[in-house]
């Protein structure tokens, strides 16, 4: 065979080899480009695209009727892409120009726009004009993106519950914090193609991924009932509280619950803050004292003692008890508030009279074990689980060391430390037929399209007392308001049940004399309770019932009317035993107090009298140096305005304005030398 012929065959073989490889190549290209193309294109896009985040609209917080309590309005943010800024080589010029527009120092801006990060916010929440100016400057690596800003249309209303969100729309306190994950939504982005060295591509593709708005959180709070409560608190704080004689308490809270479901209709605390400017308020102001602080409940706690004694059948309502005016336990006398005692009474009358020895008797009959069982069952010493951060546990006296004397003082609400929300939950359990419910603040979660995502679910903690005990105690507590010490909360035509209380305040591990916590717990209508209210007023020089009951009365009346509850025909129209001097004011009329500061006394008196106010003076002097209420305050027409006439004026003349008789004060006085439980255990 000639070499050329054999060569041809072998060359043909070579050609075959090459062709075979080229076929393999084409198959491989088909696999990569056609088979895996989509997947690889996605991967490539991931490396090429870089996102500028677009903040989602944070969900609203609404009250139970759908009134907006917190919403988000869009604002604009100036951002920089440091890699692009550096690439442009005009860093100094960019910083200079931005500094002029944004009013920040050149150094600060330079530092931000050259930071080693993919994206840097230069200034958040700029005005539309500033945003427009920045856009017009058209600086390389600098852009504007939409951001959202939190707005609270009602200002301080329900601020302790709502809380607030920070500059990045992140929840910081209150529901804004606890429901942050529901509210915040999912951020979207504008994706822009970048080169490997971090600069935007010429004619880069831009993709917009829409952010997903957050859900709406609908609270159990009713804006109107909350407003009733806050109005009463404002009145107290501005020194217009009934029987406060122009004094302002330190803090006060009013809690309104639907005892049937555990829904909080109002949870008001003063002092409060404006969440729109939360930075301007200190931590103490933002504290939700109704949940985060404990106090000694005083006589309001007798509701629990009574419930336990009735449930355990240690007493019968018609059983007689003789009050000698004191009850001696372990050599100490627990005194009744009424000098000489109430004498012979039934246990219903013991409750009506808030008779201390009678309640001590109930406690002693129950014994330490049973009493503690009810303390635990009613939820004291434990968190209620209400949706607020920093809920206090309250402090119970150590059961192992508890003596009969401790039992006696605990029976009348002294010694133990409870939170307002614990006490209200316990009262609601007594009112609703005997089931302790978890107090709740969130009614439902609603998606942006208006669909209810998470509906309200009542959460029963446990049954504490029987239906019949509950019914019995409702009647007894109604009698307390109708016939007894709770008469200041009486509402003609409505069946109100309730109990007053006064407790001594604690500071630096000791009880403070002459500084009290006044409270009133009530529910209505007594036969089928729809509202349970607790007012706690801290820092009053006066006794509980006189200060707290009218506050609850006002909130109760407005709320019952607002909820459309008609006066009941079988409800009494007058209390059976009116307290001396207790009047039911006619229809209240509001009037504005004229300012008389600096005026001579005669002129001031004339001006106030003409406006229909009564005048009282304090101190000696020619001109008015101060007045309470202050000018422009809106108060009840015909109320008294106190004028201060000189520096030496004090509050010494306040004495006669309150009643000496308070159910708790005598007990407190008799038990001096006690050490507060918070000082022992805390």
Partner 1 sequence: MLRGRRPDMILLGAILALLGIGVVMVYSSSAVKGYIQFDDPYHFLKAEIIWVALGLTAMLLSFRLDVQFLRRWAKPALYLAIVLLLLVKVPGIGRKVNGADRWIGLGPLSVQPSEVIKLAMVLVMAHIMALKPQQIQFFRQGLLPVLALLGLVAGLIMLQPDLGTTLAIAGTTFFMLIAAGARVGHLVALGGSGLALVVAAIAAAPYRMRRIFAFLDPWADPSGKGYQTIQALLALGPGRLFGLGLGQSRQKFLYLPENHTDFIFAMIGEELGFIGATLVVLLFFLVAWRGFRTAMSAPDVFSGLLAVGITSLVSIQAMINMGVVSGVLPVTGITLPFLSYGGTSLVFTMLAVGMLLNISAQVRRG
Residues marked active site are found at 299
Q: How far is the CB of 82 from partner 1 (least distance, A)?
A: 18
DSSP character at residue 598: T
Determine contact, residues 636/661, Cβ cutoff 8 Å.
no
569 binds partner 1 (CB under 8 A): no
634: which strand partners?
592
How far apart CA 309 and CA 469 sit, in angstroms, is: 10
User: Which range of residues in 1-9, 359-367, 586-594, 643-651 is near partner 1 by CB under 8 A?
Assistant: 1-9
33 binds partner 1 (CB under 8 A): yes
Q: How far is the CB of 390 from partner 1 (least distance, A)?
A: 46
Q: Strands across the sheet with 49-54, in order?
A: 49-54, 188-193, 206-209
Smaller CB separation from partner 1, 47 or 681: 47
How far apart CA 147 and CA 164 sit, in angstroms, is: 17
18 binds partner 1 (CB under 8 A): yes
Nearest partner of 49 among 210, 213, 211, 208, judged by Cα: 208
User: Which range of residues in 32-40, 170-178, 325-333, 586-594 is near partner 1 by CB under 8 A?
Assistant: 32-40
11 binds partner 1 (CB under 8 A): yes
Label residue 424 exposed, middle or buried (CB < 10 Å: 0-12, 13-18, 19+).
buried
Q: How far is the CB of 17 from partner 1 (least distance, A)?
A: 8
User: Which range of residues in 38-46, 246-254, 474-482, 577-585 is near partner 1 by CB under 8 A?
Assistant: 38-46
Q: How far is the CB of 90 from partner 1 (least distance, A)?
A: 16
Q: How far is the CB of 190 from partner 1 (least distance, A)?
A: 18
207 binds partner 1 (CB under 8 A): no
Smaller CB separation from partner 1, 22 or 573: 22
Q: How far is the CB of 1 from partner 1 (least distance, A)?
A: 9
Q: How far is the CB of 18 from partner 1 (least distance, A)?
A: 5
Determine contact, residues 654/247, Cβ cutoff 8 Å.
yes
Q: What is the 3-state secondary structure (H, E, C) of 183-223?
A: HHCECEEEEEEECCCCCECCCCCEEEECCECCCEEEECCCH
589 binds partner 1 (CB under 8 A): no
312-342 residues labelled b (16+ CB within 10 A) or e (exposed) = bebbebeeebebebbbebeebebbbbbeebb
User: Which range of residues in 27-35, 456-464, 568-576, 653-661 is near partner 1 by CB under 8 A?
Assistant: 27-35
Smaller CB separation from partner 1, 186 or 195: 195
- Cis? peptide before 357, omega within 30° of 0: no
89 binds partner 1 (CB under 8 A): no
User: Which range of residues in 18-26, 125-133, 288-296, 417-425 is near partner 1 by CB under 8 A?
Assistant: 18-26
Q: How far is the CB of 88 from partner 1 (least distance, A)?
A: 13
How far apart CA 228 and CA 455 sit, in angstroms, is: 27
Smaller CB separation from partner 1, 21 or 151: 21
Given 12, 167, 330, 582, the residue binding partner 1 (CB under 8 A): 12
How far apart CA 208 and CA 51 sit, in angstroms, is: 9
Pick out residues in 162-201 that bind partner 1 (CB under 8 A): 193-197, 201
Q: Strands across the sheet with 251-258, in order?
A: 263-270, 251-258, 531-540, 510-524, 497-507
User: Which range of residues in 15-23, 351-359, 412-420, 514-522 is near partner 1 by CB under 8 A?
Assistant: 15-23
463: which strand partners?
435
Q: What is the DSSP string of 412-464?
A: TT-S-BEEHHHHHHHHHHHHTTSEEE--B-EEEEE-TTS-EEE-----EEEE-
Smaller CB separation from partner 1, 39 or 369: 39
User: Which range of residues in 16-24, 136-144, 440-448, 532-540 is near partner 1 by CB under 8 A?
Assistant: 16-24
Q: What is the pattern of x (binds partner 1, CB under 8 A) and - over residues 592-611? A: --------------------
How far apart CA 489 and CA 544 sit, in angstroms, is: 12
Q: What is the pattern of x (binds partner 1, CB under 8 A) and - over residues 456-485? A: ------------------------------
Q: How far is the CB of 69 from partner 1 (least distance, A)?
A: 48
206 binds partner 1 (CB under 8 A): no
How far apart CA 464 and CA 307 sit, in angstroms, is: 9
How, if at all, do strands 640-644 and 614-618 pair? parallel
Determine contact, residues 588/636, Cβ cutoff 8 Å.
yes
- Report the Cα–Cα distance between both ends of the chain, in Å, rounded: 112
Residue located via tokens 């997947």:
39
How far apart CA 354 and CA 285 sit, in angstroms, is: 34
118 binds partner 1 (CB under 8 A): no
Judged by CB under 8 A, the number of residues near partner 1 is 41
DSSP character at residue 275: G
How far apart CA 663 and CA 338 sit, in angstroms, is: 7
Smaller CB separation from partner 1, 196 or 590: 196
Q: How far is the CB of 7 from partner 1 (least distance, A)?
A: 6
26 binds partner 1 (CB under 8 A): yes
Smaller CB separation from partner 1, 199 or 419: 199
Residue located via tokens 């000098």:
339
How far apart CA 225 and CA 518 sit, in angstroms, is: 21
Pick out residues in 47-66 that bind partner 1 (CB under 8 A): 47-48
Residue located via tokens 């439980």:
677
587 binds partner 1 (CB under 8 A): no
14 binds partner 1 (CB under 8 A): yes
Smaller CB separation from partner 1, 15 or 151: 15
Nearest partner of 223 among 153, 291, 301, 164, judged by Cα: 153
Q: Applying CB under 8 A, which residues contact partner 1? A: 3-4, 6-8, 10-15, 18-19, 21-22, 24-26, 28-30, 32-34, 36-41, 43-45, 47-48, 193-197, 201
């Amino acid at each position: 065979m000639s070499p050329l012929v054999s060569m041809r065959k072998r060359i043909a073989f070579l050609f075959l080899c090459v062709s075979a490889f080229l076929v393999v190549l084409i198959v491989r290209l088909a696999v990569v480009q056609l088979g895996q193309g989509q997947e690889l294109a996605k991967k490539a896009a991931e490396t090429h695209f870089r996102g500028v985040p677009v903040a989602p609209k944070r969900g609203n917080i609404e009250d139970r009727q759908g009134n907006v309590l917190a919403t988000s309005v869009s604002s604009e943010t100036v951002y920089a892409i440091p890699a692009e800024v550096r690439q442009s080589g005009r860093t100094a010029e960019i910083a200079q120009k931005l500094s002029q527009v944004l009013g920040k120092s050149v150094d600060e801006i330079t530092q931000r726009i050259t930071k080693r990060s993919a994206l840097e916010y230069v200034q958040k929440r700029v005005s539309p004009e500033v945003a427009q100016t920045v856009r017009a400057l058209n600086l390389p690596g600098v852009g504007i993106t939409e951001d959202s800003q939190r707005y609270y249309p009602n200002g301080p209303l329900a601020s302790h519950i709502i809380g607030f969100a920070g500059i990045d729309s992140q929840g910081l306190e209150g529901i804004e914090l606890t429901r942050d994950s529901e509210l915040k939504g999912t951020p979207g982005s504008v994706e822009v193609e970048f080169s490997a060295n971090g600069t935007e591509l010429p004619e880069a593709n831009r993709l917009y991924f829409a952010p997903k708005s957050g859900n709406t959180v609908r609270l159990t709070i009713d804006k109107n009932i909350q407003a009733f409560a806050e109005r009463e608190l404002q009145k107290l704080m501005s020194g217009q509280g009934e029987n406060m004689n122009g004094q302002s308490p330190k803090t006060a809270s009013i809690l309104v619950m639907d005892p049937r479901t555990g829904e909080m209709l109002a949870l008001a605390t003063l002092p409060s803050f404006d969440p729109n400017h939360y930075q301007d308020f200190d931590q103490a102001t933002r504290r939700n004292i109704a949940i985060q602080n404990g106090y000694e409940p005083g006589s309001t706690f007798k509701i629990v003692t009574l419930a336990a004694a009735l449930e355990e059948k240690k007493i019968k309502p018609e059983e007689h008890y003789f009050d000698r005016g004191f009850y001696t336990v372990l050599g100490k006398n627990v005194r009744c508030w009424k000098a000489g005692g109430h004498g012979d009474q039934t246990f219903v009358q013991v409750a009506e009279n808030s008779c201390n020895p009678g309640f001590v008797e109930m406690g002693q009959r129950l014994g330490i074990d049973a009493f503690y069982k009810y303390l635990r069952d009613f939820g004291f010493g434990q968190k209620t689980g209400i949706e607020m951060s920093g809920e206090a546990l309250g402090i119970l006296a150590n059961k192992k060391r508890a003596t009969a004397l401790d039992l006696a003082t605990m029976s009348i609400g002294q010694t133990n430390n409870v939170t307002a929300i614990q006490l209200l939950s316990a009262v609601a359990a007594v009112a609703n037929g005997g089931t302790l419910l978890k107090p709740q603040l969130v009614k439902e979660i609603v998606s942006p399209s208006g669909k209810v995502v998470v509906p309200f679910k009542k959460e029963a903690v446990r049954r504490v007392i029987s239906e019949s005990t509950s019914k019995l105690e409702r009647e007894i507590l109604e009698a307390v308001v109708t016939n007894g010490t709770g008469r200041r909360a009486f509402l003609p035509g409505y069946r109100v049940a309730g109990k007053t209380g006064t407790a001594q305040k604690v500071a630096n591990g000791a009880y403070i004399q002459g500084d009290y916590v006044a409270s009133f717990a009530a529910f209505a209508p007594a036969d089928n309770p729809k509202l349970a209210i607790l007012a706690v007023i801290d820092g009053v020089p006066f006794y509980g019932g006189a200060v707290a009951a009218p506050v609850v009365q006002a909130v109760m009346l407005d709320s019952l009317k607002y909820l459309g509850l008609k006066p009941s025909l079988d409800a009494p129209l007058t209390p059976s035993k009116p307290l001396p001097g207790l009047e039911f004011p006619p229809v209240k009329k509001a009037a504005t107090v004229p300012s008389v500061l600096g005026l001579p006394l005669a002129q001031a008196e004339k001006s106030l009298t003409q406006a229909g106010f009564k005048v009282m003076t304090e101190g000696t002097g020619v001109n008015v140096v101060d007045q309470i209420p202050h000018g422009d305050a809106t108060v009840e027409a015909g109320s008294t305005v106190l004028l201060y006439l000189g520096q030496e004026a004090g509050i010494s003349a306040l004495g006669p304005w309150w009643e000496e008789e308070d159910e708790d004060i005598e007990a407190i006085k008799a038990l001096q030398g006690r050490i507060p439980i918070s000082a022992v255990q805390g």
